[in-house]
Amino acid sequence: MKFAIALFSAAHAPSSRRALLFAQAAVAGGHEIVRLFFYQDGVYNASDSVVTPQDELDLPKQWRAFVSEHQLDGVVCIAAALRRGVLNEEEAGRYQRQAVAVSAPWELSGLGQLHDAVQDADRLICFGGA
């Protein structure tokens, strides 16, 4: 089965951890993840700037490792990211901002990528809220 997984909540939200565990179970079960799409506060999961205490779960780090290991397509909605100050080098340069918070494997792109994933996948599953 092909899954599109969309995440709407920040890294510290329990729903974000559930999204990662679901994604890991899907891959372990032999399924394909066509795209991970981060929207609304979900963009914070792609931030390099998040600092997690040593004795807590570092979700941005775990997402990055998961996406890299399985060579997944990790897309962050650019409009949602800009609004929340999660900029990559290109956008930081464009808007003359100091902080670069997003780097590879994450890609900033538009909502068209979400729609594309919905068309391609057999199942769309969204995580967020709480």
Query: Which region, judged by CB under 8 A, interacts with another protein, from 50-58, 66-74, 94-102, 117-125?
Result: 117-125
Residue 4 CA to residue 40 CA, distance in Å, equals: 16
- Number of residues counted as binding another protein (CB under 8 A): 37
User: Given candidates 25, 57, 65, 99, which one binds another protein under the rule CB under 8 A?
Assistant: 25
How many CA atoms lie less than 13 Å away from 127 in the CB half-sphere?
25
12 versus 18: smaller Cβ distance to another protein: 18
**Is residue 26 close enough to count as binding another protein by CB under 8 A?**
yes
User: Given candidates 49, 68, 103, 119, which one binds another protein under the rule CB under 8 A?
Assistant: 119
State whether the Cα torsion 119-78-107-104 is positive or negative. negative
Give 14: exposed, middle or buried? Use CB within 10 Å, 0-12, 13-18, 19+. exposed
57 versus 104: smaller Cβ distance to another protein: 57
DSSP 107: E
Instruction: Please provide residue 78's backbone torsions phi and psi, each rounded to the nearest 5 degrees.
Output: -65, -40
Would you give the binding string for another protein spanning residues 66-105, x where CB under 8 A is met?
A: -------------xx--x----------------------
Q: What angle do CA 77, 78, 81 make, to 5 degrees?
A: 85
Residues making contact with another protein (CB under 8 A): 1, 3, 6, 8-9, 14-15, 18, 21-22, 24-26, 28-29, 31, 39-40, 79-80, 83, 110-112, 114-115, 118-119, 122-130
